[in-house]
Structure 1
């Protein structure tokens, strides 16, 4: 008889042994180094143009390195 729920005794084929979610502490992008305007522009998905670099400089002046954390998921 077919059921819509998987058999609990069978391991899920999509989850291998040791396949676990990455801890949040390992997902942060910054490594304690300075954040450059280029880093911020690229993380935002924008092209490296003079206008975008100026936007990034202003954002870093206002928010500091945490500006990068706010852009990245």
Structure 2
């Protein structure tokens, strides 16, 4: 009786992750709430003001810098 093996079509460990899968942003506008949540902080008036200043200084890259 032949036994069938499950389809093993997962990612191979010897292949690199494509560059387009490594980026956090999807091309949409980055909000102060996004920056606060990415930093691990709670959304408060103080943290939102911090995020607004960070976005003003660094632009959308502020979010990329916070995410792994």
Q: Same fold (TM over 0.5)?
A: yes
Q: Which residue of 2 aligns with 1:6?
A: none
Which string of whole-angstrom CA distances, capped at 9 and with x for unpartnered residues, describes residues 43-63 of structure 1? Answer: 111000110000000000000
- Runs ≥4 residues deviating over 3 A: none
Unaligned runs of 5+ in 1: 1-15
Q: Which residue of 2 aligns with 1:60?
A: 55
Unaligned runs of 5+ in 2: 1-7
Q: Which residue of 1 aligns with 2:11?
A: 19
Larger radius of gyration: 1
TM-score, normalization by structure 1: 0.70
Could you tell me how far apart the structure 2 residues matched to 1:22 and 1:29 are?
Answer: 14
TM-score, normalization by structure 2: 0.75
**Residue 28 (structure 1) shift:** 1.3
Whose helix fraction is larger, Structure 1's or Structure 2's? 2
